[in-house]
């Protein structure tokens, strides 16, 4: 804000707002009950087959409405007055709803059946929820949102808004709240919610995809059964794994990896992830050289963590050894973060020391300058357990750390290695 500028706060008179959309009315019309609505909103209500007044729920003797010209003139005069303070010719955005308005909206949402009206109500709630913890304590809100998602509405926008609100109110939610949401969405083995979330991932924009994957992670964190139920939906696994691409947005990749790490805690799910070619996707990420921004660092750390989990399965180790994945793991050693380095060392320890099923791993580590990096890890600030793992790998590679102390000192001073 420049010097001399002041912020202008505009209060909209309550009787200028449509009871349905809660926005300033453009063309106010009155029903036979005497209640005034914006023409577009009440027309959608009536076209949906309703025969009651939305505000009073009285049965309408007639569906005809009369233009409220007096109110229209008052709104125009008020708008003209407000317009003098506006910097642009376009009308100012509607103000955020108050708590009283949101409470009223929630009551109406529980009774409303018309998708168009529910869409308007949810749009108002979304604007409120972004900066408020109020909705997280509304016990009846989550079941209403789950009903909207599970209801199979043909309006994808309605489902996306419900998912957006769920994502917002579960971020800081308690473990009890998360379990409640999981139980509601996966009740009685019903997969209506999962089908709706799949459609949101397939058809939503980037923000909606991220929100949908985060909600999946929340509902899969309850127990092993919830993880298996979601993993049984092969379409969901395929869609989420496909987002792990070097062409995808880092925020989406991170959300997808976080979800996959959560469900991979189940041994049965790991086999499904390996079959879905998850390791090939991780390999591409590890072999791609990018500037180490915070997002890229997080993606690399979670890629290595998921790879570490999948390496516990024989088929996972076979796929890791069969491509260039080991080369990618060695590349990330000492380059990204301490967390990434510790995951990378654990993977190499699993492949080279614990199982030793494929000699190609040792050859790749030596060829990729992995020995030098492991020697540096031994003298780093990594955890004692990780340093011991590095020593174990070096023993397998038949390199004696004591004979290479000069090399370690030299490499530490001259090689551009991120301090850890």
pLDDT digits (tens, 9 = 90+) for 77-90: 888 777 655 444 45
Average pLDDT, the chain: 81
State how far the Cα of 53 lies from the Cα of 36, in Å rounded to an integer. 10
pLDDT digits (tens, 9 = 90+) for 334-393: 888 899 999 999 999 999 988 887 788 888 998 888 899 999 999 888 889 999 999 999
Per-residue model confidence (pLDDT) at position 151: 78
Per-residue model confidence (pLDDT) at position 403: 41
Please choose, from the candidates 311, 219, 202, 300, the residue with its C-alpha nearest in 3D space to the C-alpha of residue 254. Answer: 300
Contacts of 318 (CB under 8 A, 6+ apart): 357, 358
Position 280 pLDDT exceeds 70 = yes
Please state the rounded mean pLDDT for residues 293-307: 90
Tokens of 316: 């996972």
pLDDT digits (tens, 9 = 90+) for 119-166: 887 887 777 765 454 455 566 778 888 888 887 666 788 889 889 988
Please tell me whether residue 85 adopts helix, strand or coil conformation: coil
State how far the Cα of 85 lies from the Cα of 324, in Å rounded to an integer. 62
Per-residue model confidence (pLDDT) at position 21: 80
Contact 29, 108 (CB under 8 A): no
Can you list the positions of beta strands (E) in 316-357? Answer: none
pLDDT digits (tens, 9 = 90+) for 236-267: 999 999 999 888 899 999 999 999 999 998 88
Q: How confident is the model at residue 415 (pLDDT cuts 50, 70, 90)?
A: very low
Q: How confident is the model at residue 414 (pLDDT cuts 50, 70, 90)?
A: very low
Choose between 410 and 16: higher pLDDT.
16
Please state the rounded mean pLDDT for residues 2-22: 67
State how far the Cα of 130 lies from the Cα of 172, in Å rounded to an integer. 12
Q: How confident is the model at residue 178 (pLDDT cuts 50, 70, 90)?
A: confident
Position 63 pLDDT exceeds 60 = yes
What pTM value is reported for the model? 0.70
pLDDT digits (tens, 9 = 90+) for 33-62: 889 999 888 888 887 778 888 888 888 888
Per-residue model confidence (pLDDT) at position 322: 87
State how far the Cα of 405 lies from the Cα of 244, in Å rounded to an integer. 40
Per-residue model confidence (pLDDT) at position 248: 87
State how far the Cα of 18 lies from the Cα of 83, in Å rounded to an integer. 20
Per-residue model confidence (pLDDT) at position 385: 93
Per-residue model confidence (pLDDT) at position 331: 92
Per cent of the chain over pLDDT 70 is 82
Per-residue model confidence (pLDDT) at position 399: 59
pLDDT digits (tens, 9 = 90+) for 105-121: 777 777 777 777 888 87
């Amino acid at each position: 804000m420049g010097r001399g500028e002041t912020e202008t706060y505009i209060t909209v008179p309550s009787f200028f707002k449509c009871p349905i959309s809660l926005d300033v009315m453009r063309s106010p019309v009155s029903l036979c009950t005497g209640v005034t609505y914006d023409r577009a909103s009440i027309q959608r209500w009536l076209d949906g087959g309703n025969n009651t007044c939305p505000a009073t729920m009285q049965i309408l003797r007639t569906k005809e409405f009369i233009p409220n010209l007096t109110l229209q003139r008052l709104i125009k005069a008020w708008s003209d007055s407000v317009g003098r303070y506006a910097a642009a010719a376009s009308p100012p955005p509607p103000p955020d709803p108050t708590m009283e308005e949101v409470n009223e909206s929630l009551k109406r949402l529980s009774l409303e059946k018309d998708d168009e009206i529910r869409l308007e109500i949810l749009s108002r709630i979304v604007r409120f929820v972004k900066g408020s913890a109020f909705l997280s304590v509304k016990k009846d809100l989550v079941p209403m949102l789950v009903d909207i998602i599970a209801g199979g509405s043909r309006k994808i926008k309605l489902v996306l808004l419900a998912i957006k609100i769920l994502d917002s109110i579960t971020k800081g939610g308690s473990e009890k709240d998360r379990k409640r949401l999981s139980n509601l969405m996966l009740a009685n083995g019903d997969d209506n919610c999962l089908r709706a979330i799949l459609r949101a991932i397939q058809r939503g924009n980037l923000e909606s995809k991220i929100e949908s994957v985060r909600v999946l992670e929340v509902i899969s964190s309850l127990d092993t059964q919830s993880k298996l139920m979601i993993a049984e939906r092969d379409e969901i696994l395929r869609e989420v794994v496909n987002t792990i691409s070097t062409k995808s947005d880092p925020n989406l990749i991170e959300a997808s990896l976080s979800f996959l790490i959560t469900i991979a805690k189940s041994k049965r799910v790991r086999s499904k992830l390996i079959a879905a070619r998850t390791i090939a996707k991780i390999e591409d990420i590890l072999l791609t050289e990018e500037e180490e921004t915070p997002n890229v660092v997080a993606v690399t750390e979670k890629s290595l963590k998921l790879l570490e989990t999948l390496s516990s399965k024989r088929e996972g180790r076979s796929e890791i050894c069969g491509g260039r994945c080991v080369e990618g793991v060695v590349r990330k050693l000492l380059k990204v973060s301490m967390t990434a380095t510790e995951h990378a060392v654990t993977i190499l320890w699993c492949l080279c020391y614990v199982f030793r099923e494929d000699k190609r791993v040792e050859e790749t580590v030596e060829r990729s300058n992995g020995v030098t990096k492991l020697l540096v890890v031994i003298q780093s600030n990594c955890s004692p357990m990780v340093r011991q793992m590095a020593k174990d790998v070096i023993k397998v590679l038949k390199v004696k750390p004591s004979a290479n102390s000069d090399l370690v000192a030299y490499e530490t001073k001259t090689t551009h290695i991120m301090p850890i």
